[in-house]
Amino acid sequence: MRYAVDLNALAAIVGANNVSARQPDLAAHSIDESYVAPSLPDAIVWPDSTEQIAQVMRYAYEHAIPVVPWSGGSSLEGNPVPVAGGIVLAMYRLNKILNVNEPDLQVTVQPGVIYDDLNAHLRRLGLYFPPAPGSSDVATLGGMVANNSSGMHAVKYGVTRNYILQLKIVTPDGRIMEIGSRAKKSTSGYDLVGLFIGSEGTLGVITEITLRLMGMPEQVASAVAVFDTLEAATATVYDAVRYGLDIAAIELLDAGTVHVTNVQQGLSLREAPTLFVEFHGSKAGVSDQTAYMQEICNDNHCLSFESADTPEQRSILWAARREARNSIKLYHAGEVLMSGDVCLPMSRFGEMVTFVHQVSTETGLQIYAFGHAGDGNLHTEIIIARDDEAMARLGNQATERIVRHALSLGGTIAGEHGVGLAKKPFIEQEHGAAVDLMRAIKQALDPRGIMNPGKIFA
């Protein structure tokens, strides 16, 4: 135990059944989905109201005990791993959709609502919250706001940040505040909502989220195009965006990733660089867009082009993309996945993918490359044998080369997964002296340094 947390004091706030220091509960909150080493907290608390969170924060602030907000635990950079111990504030009970404001196309939710559950609820109203992370069945709205998550629809609809209007927050010293407004635009004061989006639990606790919604498109159409070379596939992405296609998703899988999805999902796709494309709009519109896309793919000498416009056909076509990371994880069961999430200006995406393959060849490491090509967001998975320190060192060097190369091309170290622990070593390199400004903001909002310590920057 690193902190002498008074379980009775916490039980008096949330009830004895909603506090635990039992080993299995601590272990379950010592990891996320990354390769970052586990770190046990001292206690877990499951609050069910903003007021309870405020009281827990007042207790923690008074005793200078670290607090780590925890939603779905699906992060890939160690974001919620409690490296300093302390209290994990788990959001599982805060899972209610509080109000759907249909006339204004807005919804207010608690942070523990799961992305897919929200959209299942909204579907009957013809509404939709678009960012669509690959982890949509586990990622919660709290975690999505705190990581500024996005996914394959970002190319058309933007990222979580583009939808958040208002937040209820609890400050590290336990004050409750509403920041932002339900108005569609505002120039009133500093953008505190913007500050909390992507703050990875380091500034305060988000307890309610009001976000704007979109209407569901009348028609969705999908296509899958296979190419001989990565260059042809990435040139197609560039052309499709450059020539103004209204793409809702354009995703790339390299040949290695297609291979593992074939094996794990029982598919029989051609094992070559593949693009997965989606269009949203009117029936006539998506049909025109699909035809135009086929023309662009043909111009880039695609080996095959297959389209679908029923949900069943689309689901079969997209199975490989949807399950890409899970397939890699299953195929390499027992091994460690080092995830990467660089994001590049669109014109440099192709050369970034080529560079990753070059690093793989030079190091002998298996590296999978796939991602949200239309945004220039490339995911990589480096495979490391468990407990092989030499290989882990090689993996870290490969990550460093990939990240440095992305920065040299004008990119960022984190397109959507956040910085957490795993990308912390590169934050200064990306932001230089601006990291001092970030530290000053952290110090102003969290003077005792209790909110998710050790993350983003040292």
Ligand X SMILES: Cc1cc2nc3c(=O)[nH]c(=O)nc-3n(C[C@H](O)[C@H](O)[C@H](O)COP(=O)(O)OP(=O)(O)OC[C@H]3O[C@@H](n4cnc5c(N)ncnc54)[C@H](O)[C@@H]3O)c2cc1C
Q: Binding residues for ligand X, per CB under 6 A?
A: 32-33, 68-76, 79-80, 91, 111, 133-135, 138-140, 142-144, 146-147, 149-151, 200-201, 205-206, 325-326, 416-417, 452
Q: From the CB of 208, what's the least distance to ligand X, in Å?
A: 9
Task: Decide whether 235 or 323 has the Cβ nearer to ligand X.
Answer: 323
Closest CA to 110 of 169, 60, 57, 163: 169
- Tell me how far, at minimum, the Cβ of 288 lies from ligand X, in Å: 28
Nearer to ligand X among residue 77 and residue 350 (C-beta): 77
Nearer to ligand X, 131 or 272 (CB): 131
Please identify the residue of the shown chain whose CB is closest to the bound ligand X. 143
In the complex, least distance from residue 225 CB atom to ligand X, rounded to whole angstroms: 21
Helix, coil or strand: residue 383 = strand
Buried b (16+ CB within 10 A) or exposed e, 44-70: bbbbbebebbbbbbbbbbebebbbbbb
Q: Which is nearer to ligand X, 141 or 220 (CB)?
A: 141
Nearer to ligand X, 153 or 280 (CB): 153
Question: H-helix or E-strand containing 280?
Answer: strand 274-281
Q: How far is the CB of 273 from ligand X (least distance, A)?
A: 20
Can you tell me the distance from the alpha carbon of 273 to that of 283, in angstroms, rounded to the nearest whole number?
29
3-state secondary structure of 113: coil
- CA atoms of 428 and 446, how far apart (whole Å): 21
Alpha carbon distances (Å) from 419 to 150, 297, 385, 412: 15, 35, 24, 11
Residue 326 vs 347, nearer CB to ligand X: 326
DSSP 8-state class, residue 140 = B
- CA dihedral angle for residue 28, residue 30, residue 32, residue 33, rounded to 10 degrees: -80
Residues 382/399, Cβ–Cβ less than 8 Å: yes
Taking Cα atoms as reference points, which of 150, 76, 134 lies closest to residue 415?
A: 150
Q: Which amino acid is at 374?
A: G
Least distance between ligand X and beta carbon 89 (Å):
8
Query: What is the C-alpha separation between 122 and 129, in angstroms, rounded?
Result: 8
**Residue among 133 and 217 whose Cβ is closer to ligand X:** 133
C-beta of 54 vs 206, nearer to ligand X: 206
**Smallest separation (angstroms) from ligand X to the CB of 78:** 9
Nearer to ligand X, 150 or 234 (CB): 150
Please say whether the dihedral angle defined by the alpha carbons of residues 389, 32, 331 and 260, taken in this order, is positive or negative.
negative
Residue 91 CB, shortest distance to ligand X, in Å, is: 5
Q: Is 159 helix (H, G, I), strand (E, B) or coil?
A: coil
Q: Are 196 and 145 in contact (CB under 8 A)?
A: yes
At its nearest, how many Å lie between ligand X and the CB of residue 366? Answer: 18
CA-angle at 298, arms to 296 and 299, nearest 5°:
65
Cβ closest to ligand X, residue 32 vs residue 48 = 32
DSSP 8-state symbol, 451: B
CB of 247 to ligand X, least distance (A): 16
Give the containing element (helix H, strand E) for 299.
helix 283-299
Task: Determine contact, residues 254/273, Cβ cutoff 8 Å.
Answer: yes
DSSP state of 244: T
Least separation in angstroms between CB 92 and ligand X: 10
Q: Are 148 and 160 in contact (CB under 8 A)?
A: yes
Nearer to ligand X, 77 or 235 (CB): 77
Rounded to 10°, the helix 349-363/230-242 angle is: 160
Q: How far is the CB of 411 from ligand X (least distance, A)?
A: 16
